[in-house]
C-alpha cells in the first residue's frame, strides 16, 4: 500500500493530504449549456447593435454561437 504522505529527498512531506479543493464555480448553480449559449448570443447581439460597423470579433462570435445552437440532423443528406 502506498504511503499517504510521500517524503521528498529533502525530508519535506506533501501538503496534498487533507487539503480541500475549492472553486468559486462550485458554489454557482448549474446552467445547461443550451441556456448559457442563448444568453451569450443575446449579449453578443446586443453589443453588435451598438458596435462600430465591421466589428469582426463580435460578428464571428455571434456566428459561432448561432451554429452551436442550430440543431444538426442525424440523418445523412444524400447528394
Residue ranges for the chain with pLDDT beneath 70: 1-21, 76-79
DSSP label at 19? -
Q: In terms of pTM, does the model score above 0.75? A: no
Can you give the residue ranges of every domain in the chain? 30-69
pLDDT digits (tens, 9 = 90+) for 33-54: 889 999 999 999 999 999 988 8
Q: What is the pLDDT of residue 39?
A: 95
CA distance linking residue 74 with residue 72, whole number of Å = 6
Stated length of the chain? 79
CA distance linking residue 47 with residue 5, whole number of Å = 52
CA distance linking residue 14 with residue 52, whole number of Å = 54
Residues 6+ apart with CB under 8 A from 47: 58
Amino acid at each position: 500500500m502506498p504511503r499517504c504522505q510521500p517524503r521528498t529527498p529533502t525530508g519535506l512531506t506533501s501538503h496534498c493530504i487533507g487539503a480541500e479543493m475549492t472553486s468559486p464555480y462550485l458554489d454557482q448553480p448549474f446552467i445547461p449549456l443550451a441556456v448559457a449559449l442563448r444568453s451569450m448570443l443575446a449579449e453578443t447581439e446586443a453589443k453588435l447593435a451598438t458596435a462600430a460597423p465591421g466589428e469582426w470579433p463580435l460578428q464571428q462570435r455571434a456566428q459561432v454561437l448561432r451554429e452551436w445552437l442550430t440543431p444538426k440532423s442525424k440523418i445523412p443528406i444524400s447528394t
